[in-house]
Amino acid sequence: MAVSKSFFNVLFEFSFSRFIGIRIIGVLYGIGIFFAGLLAIGFLIAGFNQGFLGGIGALIVSPLFFLIYVIIVRVGLEGFVATLRTAENTSYLVENAKRNSYEIQD
């Protein structure tokens, strides 16, 4: 297994031979959940500003909105991670094939 480079070495590497996305995906997910919460709270406030019935409606719909938003963020990030892992594994297979002297066609 290759030696792991530090976060900042990978961040400023211009060859893009290592991926940083997998290292920061948890932070991006946390940011997504934070913004989903802010939007849900904003929706609640806007609903109660419309009146009591609007507030009750927002109270019912807001958690559903939050869950749907978090699910969309999660699925999108999982797709991103799957793409990065596929690219990493493909690079690893090519490196192994070159080390084992197999002919690689470009």
The pLDDT tens digits of the residues spanning 76-86 come to 999 999 998 89
Question: Above pLDDT 70, what percent of the chain?
Answer: 89
Helix (H, G, I), strand (E, B) or coil at 99: helix
The pLDDT tens digits of the residues spanning 56-73 come to 999 999 999 999 999 999
pLDDT for the residue 1: 41
Q: Say how many CA atoms lie within 13 Å of 52 toward its Cβ.
A: 0
Domain ranges (residues) in the chain: 19-99
- Long-range contacts made by residues 29-32, C-beta under 8 angstroms, separation at least 24? 29/73, 29/74, 29/77, 32/69, 32/70, 32/73, 32/74, 32/77
